[in-house]
Every structure is written in C-alpha cells, then in structure tokens.
Structure 1
Amino acid sequence: MAESERHRFGLNSREAWWEDPLADPERNGPDRMRWPLMGVVFLLPFLIPVTKSLAAKPEVTVQLVVTGALVYAYALCYLLFPFVFRRSRRVKLGFGIGMNVLGLATVAASGASPFILLYGTAVMVFLTPAAWAVIVDVATLLTGAVLLLVAGKLGDDYGDLVTVASVTLAMFFMANLIRAVRRLELANKEIATLAVANERQRVARDLHDLLGHSLTTITVKAGLARRVLESAGDIPRAVEEIREVEGLTRSALSDVRATVSEYREVSLSAELVGARAALRAAEIDAELPHAVDNVRPEFQNTFGYVLREAVTNVLRHSGARQVKVRLGGNWLEIEDDGTAGEVVPGNGLRGLTERLAAAGGTLRTSARPGGGLLVRAEIPLPEPRAAAPAVRAEPAGGLA
C-alpha cells in the first residue's frame, strides 16, 4: 500500500487500529439532546413495518412478546448510544456487541429484513476502535447471512445484506476520517503550544545572552570608575568610564527592544570590540584577533553569541588574568587561565549549545591542564557540490 493511502484515514499504525477514538470529551459523539429526535426519524422505516406486522398477529403469544421486546430494545439502544460515548472502552465495546446481538436476534425472531442490522453495525463503527468495529461487524454480517441461509431467504434478501455491508463500509471510512480530523486538531493545538514555548525560550535565551554580557560589562566599568575616583581621583578617566557605561545601557535597551521584536542581529566584529573593552576594564590581558575576515560570513552571527557568552563567563566566574581568542573559517576558541573547576552547564552554555545545534554545530568546554577553561565552537563546512561533467565540442558536419 502506498504511503499516501496508509495515511489517508489515519490508520497508518497498529496502535491507531486499536486505540479509542480521539476527541474532545466535552463534545464526543452526537448531541445528547438532539440525537433522540433524529434517532426516531431514522428508526421509523424499521419500526413502522415491524410494529404493523406484530399488531396483525391474531393472538398474543410468548414468541410475540419476546419479538416485540427484542425489536424495541434494539431501537432503544440506538436512541441511547450517544450516552455511552464518554464511558470506558470496555463499556462501549460491550454495548456495541450487545446491540449487534439484539439486531441478529430481531432478524431471527421477527423475520425482518437484514437491513435493520445497519443500526447495530453503524453504532459499532462510531463507538469503538477501528479493529473492534471490523471484527464485530464482519461477524455480524456473516451471522446474518447464516440466519438467512437457514431460513431459506438468502436468495431473496441477499441484496439487503450487501447494502448493509456497503453502507457500513462507507460509515467505517467516514468515522475514521472524523478521527483523523480530530487528531489533526489536537496536533494543531500541540503545535501552537510548542510554538509559544519555543518563542518564550528564544526570548529568554536572547535576553540572557544580551543582558548577562551588558550588565556584567556595566558592573565592571562602574567598579573601575569607582576605583579610579577612590585611588587616584582621576576625574576625567572616571567620567570617560561613566560615559561608556551610559552608552552600554542605551545599547542594551535598544538590543532588548530588538530582541523582543526578533530583529536583532549580532555582529562578530562588534562583539570583539565589546569584549576588548570589557576585558580591559576588568584589567584582564586579552589576546584578540583584529579582524574576522577569515570566518565564513554565515557563521559570524552564531560565533558572535558564543564570544559574548564566553567573555561574560570569564568576567563573572573565572578570575582569569589572561584570555586568548582564536578564529578559523568554521570554528572559534576562547581560552583563559582562570581557576575553572568542573564545568557545569548553566543557562548560557545550554543556550549556546542550542544555537550551535540549530546551525549543525557543536560546543565543547574543557578544563585546561594548567588551570582555566577552553571553549570551542565548531560548525561543519557544507559539502562541496559535484562539478558538472565537461562536454567536449565536436566539429559540425563530422569534419576532421
């Protein structure tokens, strides 16, 4: 069976055949208030001729009473089956099997057309999982054929039995189409929920990367300005640092707005400038590249986030006195000589791992033998496309 056919009615797995119909429990099944009225309309073509036939009997007998009880019990089950939709699978299965048995007993006792079996087979299709509907309805139709054969009416009523089988098959596909639509509704709700969660995670990750670095740099520069005033009283130097703090706060506010609106782009070259200023303010010797031309353009945005978070971690946690940053076409390394112990991934490292994973890359952190931490981000290069085979031109007309 083709893939599209297997998925057509949502029965593309063994579990889908045996599971309960998926639907909202608050609106599962026909409306309880309207269905009895509609059910009576559907039952009239069955009840009117059978009732006339029973009323035409000259006397009341035990067989007549039993037949009447079967007929109206079968009709009552058809009217009440929506009330079983919210019950357990066992109850629904027992109700459907019992209704089909009542239909067969009604055919056997009253001699009615096998067309009345359609009420029971239809209920089974809409009430139970697909596998149980197939098993019970096929057994009901085969038993009905045996009853007609024993009564000598198979030739006359064969057409009605085929009609019941055809209509039941159409309802089977309709019921499973409804279930497939309900599965899609549930899937759409889940997709919407995941989209909201992913957007929240994106904003949280971006704000962490942004504010963590900006606030850390602001703290370092404000501390430097305080130390300058306390130790040397160098007011011009302190004013310069405070001006840079003011610029950082304005830039951070602008970045927050851009991050929330998803318009913010990170530049690796700008992050190098910011890292140099932040490390200088923290009195950390920084060995940084002067250009980013050797880094592939499509990787610079991601590596900008890596550099920002790594420098923020150095300023916050490492106690380092020296930092080295090395760049390659598809990799970035940040190395410090701090006192890093066991590497415990926090929100920042987890966010960077997610960013690199989205680009197909990896992030590795490891403690250096002499102390400090090495962070390496790498993104695999795209595979080169195969060159088109060269075609040699031949002289026209076959001339040498």
Structure 2
Amino acid sequence: MLCYPFLAAAGVNQYAHGAGLVSGYLLLVAVSVCYLGIVVAAMRSAWRVHWWLVALMTVLVLLLAPLAHENVLILAAVIVPCAAARVGARTAAVLVVLGAAVCVVVPMTVPGWSTGGSWYYAVAVVFTTLLVLAFSRTATANQQLREARAEVARLASEAERNRIARDLHDLLGHSLTAITVKSALARKLDPAAARAEMESVEQLARQALSDVRAAVSGYQDVTLAGELARSRELLRAAGVAADLPTACDVVPAQRRELFGWVVREGVTNVVRHARAGRCTVELTASTVEVSDDGVGGPVGAGSGLDGLRARVSDVGGVLTAGPAGPRGWLLRVEVAA
C-alpha cells in the first residue's frame, strides 16, 4: 500500500507550490511512516499503538487534502484497510462502504476538485480492504494453528512422559520384583538349585532390558492410536468438532503406522485450510478416511499430500483426495487386503 502515497504525490505536485509543495511531501512521508508503524504494531499485537497511528494518519490525510485535492482520496485505501483489519466483519463492511462513498461524494461537493477519478478511488478502497482482510485472516489462522500445534506438542510430550513412566512401571515392576525375590532365594539354596534360580534371574533381566527398549522405541514411532489422540487435541484447540474412533483394533497392526500418517496429514489440512465445523475419521481394515464440512477446493500443488501419496504407493495403496459434495473435503487411502 506504500504505492498510494506516490499517487497522492501527483496531486501535491499539481496543486501545491512553494512552501505548500514541501509541506505536502512532508505530510506524505509522515503518512508512509505511520503506515509502517501500523504494520509493526500489528506484528507485535500492540493494538493501542495501532489505533493511535491510524488516528494520526487520518489527521495527516485531512491536513493534506487542501494540497493534493481529489488525489488525497486514494489514501482512503490505506486508512480503511488498516482500521477494518481490527474490527468485526459487519463493522469492516460499514467502513468500506463509508470509505467508498467518501471517494465518490466528496469531489462532487468540494469546488475545484475533479470527479474523474472518484470511482477509481472507491474501487481501490474496496479491493485493497478485501485483500488486507484476507491476508489478516490467513495470518491470524496460521498464528492460531502454530499456537495450537505448540500446545498439542507440549501436551503430547507430557502425555508421552507419563506413558513412558507408566509403561516402565508396568513392564519392569513385575520383572524387578521377581529378580529381587529369586536373588534372595538363591542365597539360601544349595549350589545346584541356586544356579537354576540365577539362570532364571538372567532371563528376567534380559526380558526387562528388551521391555525398556520397546518402550523407548515406541516413544519415537508414529502410531495410529497416538495420532488419533493428538488429532483430537488439535481439533479441540482449533474449535473443530471431532468425530474420531476411540479405538483402532479394526486395523491390522502392519497398517497402523501408515494410517497414522494419513490421519496426521488429513487433520492438519482440515485445521489449516478447511475452515470446517466438524472433522470425521473413519477406519476399516483396509481404508482410512478423513473428511470435513469445510470449504473444499482443488488439490494444491506441492502440498504435503505428495509425501503421503509416496508412502501409500510404497505399500501398493491408493490415495484419493478432493472436494466432497455438496461441501467439504475427503482424504481416503485404501490398501489392498
């Protein structure tokens, strides 16, 4: 939007002279600085500063009006989007209508102002505001997604620590107790019986070591059950109703890791792109489906589906992804039985 002050500068150059010309250029520089300050304030969520800068920029534009005449109205395409980005949809619509109306009506009522560019200025206000709103909503959604994923990662990490502690307790509790009892018993027996007991202790120790390795490797694996749990948390954090299976016993063990990747990719795309109210995951022995009731749309090039499609292809499966009528999106993977 920094191109708009340059367009307004044409009016200053045409209508102002001498000191007025210098003042006009200085005011345009100040307007540009205010806009940059608004961008920085928005990035830092300093909304009080944001509104003060919007107000200051409006005052500067009003001071510039006698020097740039009708050309100053192009700066409404800077003020209106900056204000509309921080209000609700209804208020933003009112601001857009008012901004466009000012661009059309004011040149008709001020003597000496040309009406030739009025509709151009009005269109600039409308389309610039729509562009800024779309960018703002996307940035907000991405920020919320990052926060939700960070929260899910924290919860998942905590849950995994608790799982490992529980698994180690369950896996090792019996083994270590048996080792302790058998070791104490071996001290009281004759050498032949004690040797047999110590061989049993050795077997228990090896089993305990194998159990620990299994618990640690499970911590790093992608599992269908784990992805369903993480997806439920992610959808909850994103405000999307989750219709997910509570168990995955119907899926053969050799397919659960692949189906876990499918659930991860599908649910992430629902949260990031779909603007959905509900997400559904359905499992059978040979298929997994992730669907939503969002906006749908074509398959994007270079998406994360490419990597998933390669995983599915490696096991001879088929991946289908696309809009699901009348609205929504469907991701389906089928693996031959």
TM (norm. structure 2) is: 0.52
Residue 74 in structure 1 maps to residue 31 in structure 2: yes
Q: Which amino acid aligns with 1:251?
A: Q
Give the corresponding residue for 1:252: 208
Distance in 1 separating the partners of 2:63 and 2:95: 15
Residue matched to 2:9: 47
Partner of 2:129: 168
1:151 equivalent in alignment to 2:110: yes
How much does 1:252 deviate? 0.9
* In 1: Cα distance, 2:66 partner to 2:87 partner: 28
Distance change >3 Å, CA 138–CA 66, structure 1 → 2 = farther
The answer as to 2:55 corresponding to 1:97 is yes
Output the CA distance in 2 between the equivalents of 1:45 and 1:143: 18
Unaligned runs of 5+ in 2: 220-248, 250-337
Deviation for aligned residue 1:125: 5.0
Decide whether aligned partners of structure 1 residues 106 and 146 sit closer, same or farther in structure 2, where only a CA change above 3 A counts.
farther
The Cα offsets for residues 101-160 of structure 1, whole Å up to 9 and x where unpaired, read as 43355346642232221122343356x355575565555444555534532769641342
Q: Does the CA-based 8 Å contact 2:34-2:57 persist in structure 1?
A: yes
CA 1:168–1:220 in 2, change beyond 3 Å: closer, same or farther? same
Relative to structure 1, the CA distance from residue 234 to residue 75 in structure 2 (aligned partners, 3 Å threshold; closer, same or farther) is closer
Letter in 2 for 1:238: A
Give the alignment partner of residue 119 of structure 1, picking from 72, 75, 78: 78
Quote how far apart the aligned CAs of 1:249 are. 0.9
Compared CA separation, residues 182 and 87, structure 1 to 2 (3 A): closer
CA 1:80–1:257 in 2, change beyond 3 Å: closer, same or farther? closer
**Displacement of 1:54:** 0.7
Match of 2:174 in 1: 213
Paired residues for 1:126-137 under 5 Å: 128=86
Q: State the identity as a percent.
A: 33
Answer whether contact 1:100 1:140 (CA < 8 A) is retained: no
Q: CA RMSD in A?
A: 3.7
Structure 1 212/72 Cα, relative in aligned 2: closer, same or farther at 3 Å?
same
Name the CA shift for 1:101/1:141 in 2 (closer, same or farther; >3 Å): farther
Kindly state the Cα deviation for residue 260 of structure 1 after the two structures are TM-superposed. Answer: 1.7
- 1:144-177 CA-partner distances (Å, limit 9, x unpaired): 5553453276964134213322222222112212
Whether contact under 8 Å (1:84, 1:91) holds in the other structure is: yes
Structure 1's 136 and 73: CA in aligned 2 closer, same or farther, altered over 3 A?
farther
CA distance in 1, matches of 2:80, 2:126: 9
Query: In 2, distance between residues paired with 1:79 and 1:235?
Result: 86
Question: CA offsets, 1:221-277, max 9 Å, x none?
Answer: 222333xx2xxx5444333322222221111112212222239xxxxxxxxxxxxxx
TM, length-normalised to structure 1? 0.45
Larger Rg: 1
- Count of residues in Structure 1 that have an aligned counterpart in Structure 2: 216
Task: Name the CA shift for 1:145/1:97 in 2 (closer, same or farther; >3 Å).
Answer: farther
Q: How does 1:1-400 map to 2 (within 5 A)?
A: 39=2, 43-55=5-17, 70-85=27-42, 86=44, 88-107=46-65, 110-113=68-71, 114-125=73-84, 128=86, 138-151=97-110, 156=116, 157-226=118-187, 229=188, 233-262=189-218
The letter for the 2-side match of 1:81 is: I
**Which residue does 2:298 correspond to in 1?**
none
Q: What amino acid does structure 1 have at the position aligned with 2:15? A: S
Q: Which deviates the most, 111-120 or 192-201? A: 192-201
**C-alpha contact (below 8 Å) 1:124/1:137 kept by paired residues:** no
Structure 1 residue runs without a partner (length 5+):
1-37, 264-297, 299-400
Would you say the 8 A contact 2:15–2:67 is kept in 1?
Answer: no
